[in-house]
Amino acid sequence: MQRAKKKRRQGDEAIGKSKGGKSTKVHASVDALGNPRRLILTPGQAHDVRTGTALIEGEEAQAVIADKAYDSDGFLALIAQMGAEAVIPPRASRVEQRAYDENLYADRNKVERFYNKAKHYRRLATRYEKTARNFLAFWHIASCVILTL
């Protein structure tokens, strides 16, 4: 008797197709000190704003700092509902340009520095893990190591 193999969909493993080949996006939120708070994996072709809600859900913040990819009316409304300031530059295609605190936006480099530290671990820079669960687990391990440095 032959066992039926369980079929996996690509979306389940956070692998997506893009011009450069197959890829995975790692979305991270960090606190004011640059310490990782939450990590989410999505396929490479998924838009960033789709994970914005999950990244800030249940968090208390005075300001949410993000790049232009997170500029959407729904996400901005959610941030306002939290009672936080949205520090997100408007997209060039936005009809009404919004003002934002450019000095506070400079703190967005803290999440970029977290990515830089994490990418020093070759296992994260090159996705060796087949499953999203294992890949995310290694991101969490690297985050714990970064927290202790």
The full set of domain ranges for the chain reads 11-105+135-148
CB neighbours (10 Å) of residue 105? Answer: 16
**pLDDT digit string (tens) for 130-148?**
999 999 999 999 999 999 9
CATH 3.30.420 is the classification of domain 11-105+135-148: yes
pLDDT reported for residue 20: 79
User: Which of 6, 28, 25 is CA-nearest to residue 16?
Assistant: 25
pLDDT reported for residue 108: 96
**pLDDT digit string (tens) for 91-108?**
999 999 999 999 999 999
Q: What pTM was estimated for this model as a whole?
A: 0.85
56 φ, ψ to 5°? -105, -5
If pLDDT is split at 50, 70 and 90, which confidence band does 11 have?
A: very low
- Coil/strand/helix, residue 28: strand
Between CA 81 and CA 75 the distance in angstroms is 10
pLDDT reported for residue 53: 95
